[in-house]
Amino acid sequence: MKKRTIATKILFWVFLLVLVVQSGIATLGYFVYKQANDESYREDISSILDSMMSVYDYNLYDKYFDYTIKTYEEISPTKTIEEMGEEERLDYFAKFDEIGLIDYYGELATYFQASQIASGVDYFRIGVVDKSKNVFISSFAYQLDTDIMIKNVGYFNNIPQPIINADSNNTNLFDGVDYSEANENFFSSGRRFTNVSNYEAWVVVDIRRSVVDKTISNFMSLYLILIASFTVFIFIALYIALRKIAINPIKELANKANVYSENLKNGTIKNVFQIKEKHPDEIDQLNNSFYTLDEHLKSYVEKEKVLVTQKKNIQFELDLAKKIQKSALPQGNVHNNKYSLDAMMEPAKEVGGDLYGFEEIDKNKIYFFIGDVSGKGVPAALFMMQAKTLLQENLLNGGLLKAVNKANERLGAENSENLFLTAFIAVFDSKTGLLSFINCGHEPVFIGRNNKYKKLPEKAEIPLGSLSDYEYHLQTYQLKKGDRLYLYTDGVSEAMSKKKVLYGKEKIQKTLTSLFGANNEDVLKGMYKSVVDYSEGQEQADDICMLSFTYLDDSELILNNEKDLSLVADFVNKRIGNNLKKKSIAEIKVVLDELLTNVISYSEEKEGCSLLLYYDEEKKEAIAIITDHGIPFDPLSNKTVRKVDDIGGFGISIVKSLVNSISYKRIGSSNVLLFTKKDKK
């Protein structure tokens, strides 16, 4: 499709506008001229009639009137000319001729001819009317263009409408009225000069409407020629003006815009527009807007370059912070026959200052901590590294309390970034079970005991680095064998749902309790999954750092194969032999033999399984927890994913009948089976 330029569009609409305006002017001119022309003709024929009446020979008119009435009354026709036959009509005309009226026509015609030639009207006529019958008796007229004298004598019906209207209005004249007769239209003026009894006589002047219309037509032809000439002139003038004022400047602006676009495409910003300050019109203002746009674009590009550089620097800092954070974390975990410790870190997009650490001080003691620096990025990561180094160095040279105070003093004195560190720092002695710790403004720690978790009794103090001369206080708590500790940063407690509700400490406690019995690794995996599910796919806002610690003792027995089942009986006697009746102890041994045989035989666990057995003094019941890391299997259910026939069967029914309660959970990668047993009353 061929494109229409803006010049073509403008000229088209200008032409259309001029055409519409000129058409309107022509139409208006026609009606105005027609009305004025008609009025002029009406005035002319009225004036002509008045002039002729002022000089006419009344004797001549009176003779015509008298002779016509006399002849009409002598004949007394009963039919109109239209109703008469041919012979009757000829006989009727002959009777008028016999009276001698025919000789009178010549004298009257001479006068009419002279008057009509002098005035230039189409018809000049005289007529006699019988008002009683409302008919024309006789009329006499001279037609100028044919030089013919027209006489109508007799009994007619076609009385001119203007005469009828004048009679009905009781007036002696009519001026410049329109009427039709014999398929012709006329302008007509008339005067009544005689009125005797039922008869009256009128003198009438007529001008054909066609003559008037021809005058109008001639005028409109000339008028339209002038209008067309004027339209062409206006169009050409507007075209020249538009090219100079709008079209050429717009073309120039479009060309500059194309050049500018090509420059941008080629990666260069070169301003091709020049500011126009002197009397700017709309196009100049558009040009100035392009100029301003270019200046803003240059500024924007420069800012973008700075932002890109800043983003690269920020990304570099983030990557560096991640490397620092990762390098600060200890490798692996701690597992021995006294205690076990597992930790994990899941950094957020913007790396915070979360950290954890642990180190065995001697064969009985282990130092561990978890912390969160207030800032983010490289400064927070460096502050974290400094804090970790200071704590470990001073711990080896003077104990936990001295290490914390020394680290706080150094961090507060050399804190140009005004950062601080919340931390839970502890030393555990497996020989005594004593946990020594200091809470430096950190999240509360949860302790797991008797199949549930609760907050560790403690008092939080101020964060490290916030006040360099502050003196911390050492706190202690006696752990029992089998106790568990869960440490975390606020990335867990402050995780948020889509409804903007925090995960919170109550949910932490509830989730931990549901994971009781799982090993440290599965506790951490279960907690992380719970937090992720709670966030409902939202981007992680802060680092998630967690540590799980378990104080092991002889309450746990590791069984690697069926041969180790022989150790179960002695293990039960040693752990709870003095707490329950012999019958209850025997029933527990039967239950354990059935359950452990199934686990060892079918769990496909290469590392064996563990049995945790202890007595709850408060509830007066024994609690046994069997854990393996094999494929998922619930021995209490009829459904299994293991391809083994007749697992449990009748033995499971016996187990259920011998214990007070029994339950199964799949926690992380672990199968956890828990049952309780009380003495029967």
For the chain, which domains are there? 43-215 (3.30.450), 330-551 (3.60.40.10), 556-677 (3.30.565.10)
DSSP H or E stretch at residue 343: strand 339-346
Is residue 147 scored above 60 in pLDDT? no
Task: Give the pLDDT mean for 588-606.
Answer: 83
Greater pLDDT, 230 or 658: 658
pLDDT for position 638: 58
DSSP string, 408-426: HHHHHHT-TT---EEEEEE
Burial of 206 (0-12, 13-18, 19+ CB in 10 A): buried
Containing 307, the helix (H) or strand (E) segment is: helix 282-328
Cβ distance 388 to 355 under 8 Å?
A: yes
Provide the CB-side half-sphere exposure for 418 (13 A, CA): 0
Lowest mean pLDDT among 463-477, 480-494, 551-565: 551-565
Q: Output the pLDDT for position 509.
A: 96
Cα atoms found within 13 Å of the Cα of residue 92, Cβ hemisphere only:
23
Element containing residue 208 per DSSP (H, E): strand 199-208
d(CA 606, CA 468): 52
| Torsion, Cα of 586, 590, 591, 595 (10° steps) | 150
What was the pLDDT predicted at 641? Answer: 40
Going by C-alpha positions, the residue among 94, 97, 163, 89 that lies closest to residue 131 is 163
Overall average pLDDT of the 383-401 stretch: 84
- Asked if the model's pLDDT at residue 628 lies above 80, the reply is yes
Amino acid, res. 4:
R
pLDDT: is 661 or 7 the higher one?
Answer: 661
Contact 611, 589 (CB under 8 A): no
Please give the DSSP secondary-structure letter assigned to residue 243.
I
Q: What is the pLDDT of residue 642?
A: 39
CA 475 to chain centre: 60
d(CA 479, CA 434): 6
Give 630-647 as a 3 state SS string: CCCCCCCCCCCCCCCCCC
Beta strands, E only, 113-183 = 123-130, 135-143, 148-156, 173-181
How many angstroms separate the CA atoms of 542 and 528, rounded? 13
Phi-psi region of 653 (alpha: psi -120 to 50; beta: other; left: phi over 0): alpha
The first and second tokens of residue 205, run together, are: 């002047």
Q: Give the three-class secondary structure for 129.
A: strand
Report the percentage of the chain scoring pLDDT > 90: 25
Task: Reduce the DSSP state of residue 529 to 3 states and report it.
Answer: helix
Angstrom distance (rounded) from CA 64 to CA 70? 10
User: Quick one: pLDDT band at residue 524, thresholds 50, 70, 90?
Assistant: very high
Q: CA-CA distance, 66 to 82, in Å (whole number)?
A: 24
For residue 631, pLDDT over 70 is answered with yes
Count Cβ atoms within 10 A of the Cβ of residue 229 and give its class: 0-12 exposed, 13-18 middle, 19 or more buried.
exposed
> Which of 194-208, 319-333, 511-525, 657-671 has the weakest average pLDDT?
319-333
Residue type, 655: V
* Mean pLDDT of all residues in 93-107: 61
Provide the pLDDT for residue 679. Answer: 92
Share of the chain above pLDDT 70, in %: 78
pLDDT of 413: 87
Q: Where are the beta strands (DSSP E) in 400-555?
A: 421-429, 434-440, 446-449, 452-455, 475-478, 484-488, 544-551
Whether 302 shows a pLDDT value over 80: the answer reads no
Q: How far is Cα 231 from Cα 238, in angstroms, rounded to an integer? A: 10
Whole-angstrom distance, CA of residue 71 vs CA of residue 65: 10
Please report which confidence band the pLDDT of residue 2 belongs to, taking 50, 70 and 90 as the band edges. low
pTM of the predicted structure, to 2 decimals: 0.50
Q: Cβ atoms within 10 A of the Cβ of 165, count?
A: 13
**pLDDT greater than 60 at residue 644:** no
Residue 395 neighbours by CB under 8 Å, 6+ apart: 361, 367, 403, 427
Check pLDDT > 70 for residue 142. Answer: no
Report the distance separating Cα 171 and Cα 191, nearest Å. 9
CA 76/CA 122 separation, integer angstroms: 32
| Reported confidence tier of residue 427, pLDDT bands at 50, 70, 90 | very high
Range from 19-23, 78-82, 111-115 carrying the lowest mean pLDDT: 111-115
What would the mean pLDDT of 292-309 be, rounded to a whole number? 71
CA–CA gap between residue 127 and residue 108 (Å, rounded): 13
Mean pLDDT of 642-648: 44
H helices of 76-203, in order, are 86-99, 101-119, 161-168
Q: Work out the mean pLDDT of the chain and round it to a whole number.
A: 79
Residue 336: how many CB atoms within 10 A of its CB? Answer: 12
Residue ranges of alpha helices (H) inside 603-671 are 650-658
* Cα(565)–Cα(560) distance, integer angstroms: 9
Instruction: Tell the residue number behind the tokens 């609760």, with chain if given.
Output: 454
Angle at the Cα of 284 (from 280 to 289), degrees rounded to 5? Answer: 115
pLDDT at 643 (0 to 100): 41
* pLDDT bracket for residue 502 (50, 70, 90): very high
Work out the widest C-alpha separation in the chain, in whole angstroms: 176
- pLDDT tens digits for 542-579? 889 999 999 986 667 888 788 888 889 999 998 898 99
